[in-house]
Amino acid sequence: MATYSGIYRLKNVGTGYYLTMTTAEPEQPVVCAQTQPGDKRSLWRITSAPDGAYKFKNEEHNLELQRPTKSVSIYGAPEGFAFYITGPENARKIRSKATRGTILQQEPGGKKKDQITSAVEDSAATHQQWIFEKVQDDPNPGPGPGPGPQPGPEPNPCTKPGKYVIRNVKSGTVVDLEKMIPGDNVKIFGFQGNGGENQKWDIQPSATSPHMTLLCVATTKYATHPTPNEGESLISSGQAQECFIIPADKGFYIGPVQKPGYVWTLRGGNTANETPILLSMNHGRDEQKWRFEAV
């Protein structure tokens, strides 16, 4: 896949306003505004990131797009998030790499009117669509320069198919199916590692690439959040659940494809045995990150 780089203005399809960083002050949301073509507050340097994603850096304030852990608003930060760019040329969508589901949008009304927020995708919403207007090529683009950002492909699965122990980054405990109990609706939680077959998981591609399924070796049942609703505990099921497994700064995030923006979360990062693994909004915390250890 070719990579692309350069400086762009990003116009919101719904309003015709441009993505703008008005200040470098901390915790001040990025907005959409009417600006002149040469206004650096609305100029964004796009550079390639791993897995076909991109980063966006503001030319005026030298800060990157970032979503803080306690807000859906988008701010500027010295080190920002990476995003996928998808969709047709006249209706691009900017997707957070951390969730592969939430979309950058211009808030259409309310207290956050004109602010940029991260939201669940609405396929018909023009305020979630963007036009990339190229202003300048990067003088040092690196390999594979091109005319503008192109829709990135779905990234490859971040773990190879195989059997793994899945260890929580914060607690060091592992994903465990309770006492090797057969059948559905058995608890799956955090537990101290002991080498048991109920702590080994067969990771395989689902029918929809690049999504994966996670099967307990001991019972041949799948790990699922069956509804899936926020706060639901992980349990076993004979029905496979498609999950995304995508990189974090440490380890990986795991979450059901049906619930974009939500990931497996070890409650409180607790080291105690039988700590539930809940489905929670991705805030980038260490208890939401997992390492895969091949067995």
Give the model confidence (pLDDT) of 39-52 as tens digits: 999 999 998 776 67
The pLDDT of residue 254: 94
Whether residue 194 is found in the same domain as residue 261: yes
The pLDDT tens digits of the residues spanning 248-279 come to: 878 889 999 888 778 999 999 999 999 999 99
How confident is the prediction for the chain on average, in pLDDT? 85
Q: Are 174 and 87 part of one and the same domain?
A: no
More confident residue, 138 or 93: 93
Give yes or no: residues 98 and 184 share one domain. no
Residue 241 located in a structural domain:
yes
Average pLDDT over residues 81-95: 86
Q: Look up the domain containing 131 and give its range.
A: 6-137
Taking a C-beta distance cutoff of 8 angstroms, is the pair 88, 126 a contact?
no
Same-domain check for residues 251 and 183: yes
Assigned domain for 1 exists: no
- At 269, which CATH number? 2.80.10.50
* 93 found inside a domain: yes
Cα 69 from Cα 24, distance rounded (Å)? 19
Residue ending a domain, choose from 137, 152, 175: 137
**pLDDT band per the 50, 70, 90 thresholds, residue 9:** very high
Residue 109 burial (CB count, 10 A): 8
Residues 127 and 168 in one domain: no
Evaluate whether residue 156 is within a structural domain. no
Query: Are 132 and 206 contained in the same domain?
Result: no
Alpha carbon distances (Å) from 158 to 52, 83, 166, 252, 254: 13, 16, 13, 8, 11
231 within some domain: yes
Q: How many domains does the chain have?
A: 2
* Same-domain status, 127 and 186: no
Does 151 map to a domain? Answer: no
How confident is the model at residue 2, as a pLDDT?
34
Examine the domain organization and report whether 175 and 229 are in the same domain: yes
Residue 128 reports pLDDT greater than 50: yes
166, 121: one domain: no
- The yes-or-no verdict on residue 142 having pLDDT over 50 is no
Return the pLDDT at 42: 96
24 pLDDT higher than 80: yes
Task: Provide the pLDDT for residue 295.
Answer: 93
What mean pLDDT is predicted for residues 233-251?
91
Instruction: Kindly report, residue by residue over 201-214, the tens digit of the pLDDT.
Output: 999 988 776 789 99
191 and 74 in one domain? no
Is residue 149 assigned to a domain?
no
Round to whole Å and give the CA distance between 46 and 40. 14
Give residue-wise pLDDT tens across range 62-75: 999 987 656 688 99
Among residues 55, 83, 68, 53, which one has the least CA distance to residue 115? 68
Q: What is the dihedral of CA 192, 198, 203, 207, to 10 degrees?
A: -130
- Whether 130 and 181 map to the same domain: the answer is no
More confident residue, 163 or 25: 163
Confidence at 184, pLDDT banded by 50, 70, 90: very high
pLDDT of residue 83: 86
